[in-house]
Amino acid sequence: MHIMQTALTDSAKEAAYILNSGGVVAFPTETVYGLGAGIDNPEAIRQLFHAKGRPGDNPLIVHIYSLEQLPDVADDINQSARLLIERFFPGPLTLVLKKNQRVPYSVTAGLETVGVRCPANPLAREFLSYCSSPVAAPSANLSGLPSATSWETVYEDLQGKINAVLRGKPSAIGLESTIVDCSCSVPILLRAGAITLEQLQAVLPAIIVNTPTDTQEAPKSPGLKYPHYAPKASIRLLQTNDTITTGPSSGYIGLSAPPEGVLLFKICHDLEEYGRELFSFFRHCDALGINVIYCELPANKGIGRAIRDRLIRASESH
């Protein structure tokens, strides 16, 4: 592939200038780093898929900086969507809505719907406000690897393949956005995230949880069928009270004390820290050549639901 110089910048204005000139630019958000291209620029969208090695049938989330831009990307905002927008925008929530004709099918992977998010991170909003169109952005990592939660990780994965990285702080949440499909009459939770099912139920008591099956003809959220979040090491899930014998090259992350004999461990004080540290811990283990990572499986509630989801999917990738 064509190797390009990847600029590192701390200026939202400069990063937006590069995007507005047709570039592919990574930027920080509160969930994970995003890899952006203008939705009106088909060549940049093509390069974005290419740089990540992302399959073309995995749709991108469109990022807006304010609700003023919503009519540019989505039509038919129903009552469920309105309630969620009022309560959770800007923030770590993506809504799937009927797409506006301005959004190309290359962004939605041929779907009539579009994922829309308005991030809360101030640098992300400043960057998006300088961009001349809404910005399509998947996570800024090589496809299949854990999402990048720091600019250094973005650079490691995508250096030479993208035009620029806007350097911000490490992601405050560290897990990808919650996704709710509001394009049909009953809202559906497609992906768990920092906005929890319990918080969503408080606003929309009728919300249902998507349970994907292999036999589903058209998966509700196409990207969910791909392996995700996986480090090179294999992931072993630990339930409370499991006793294990660790090998010589293993790691551990969780809330409880680590098993004896692990080479590297991270004890998190709460689930928020667990979510924030998970992907960077995976990457740290890979850098040290660790081949098994033991991960404590949290209960299926609150943000624990999102951590479980990522852990289970990472454990199924090998």
- Residues lying near ligand AMP in the complex (CB under 6 A) are found at 58-59, 61, 96, 108, 111, 113-115, 138-139, 176, 179, 190, 221-224
Partner from Mg ion, ligand AMP, none contacting 113, C-beta within 5 to 8 A by type: ligand AMP
Residue least distant from ligand AMP (Cβ): 223
CB of 226 to ligand AMP, least distance (A): 7
Residue pointed to by tokens 């989505």? 74
CB of 27 to ligand AMP, least distance (A): 13
Partner from Mg ion, ligand AMP, none contacting 180, C-beta within 5 to 8 A by type: none
**Residue 58 or 246 having the CB closest to ligand AMP:** 58
Give the burial class of 25: count Cβ atoms within 10 A of its Cβ; 0-12 exposed, 13-18 middle, 19 or more buried.
buried
Partner from Mg ion, ligand AMP, none contacting 108, C-beta within 5 to 8 A by type: ligand AMP
Residue least distant from Mg ion (Cβ): 139
Among residue numbers 121 through 150, which ones bind Mg ion (CB under 5 A)? 139
CB of 279 to ligand AMP, least distance (A): 12
In terms of DSSP bridges, do strands 113-117 and 188-191 run parallel, antiparallel, or are they unpaired?
unpaired
**Residue 72 or 152 having the CB closest to Mg ion:** 152
Can you give the binding site for Mg ion, defined by CB under 5 A? 139
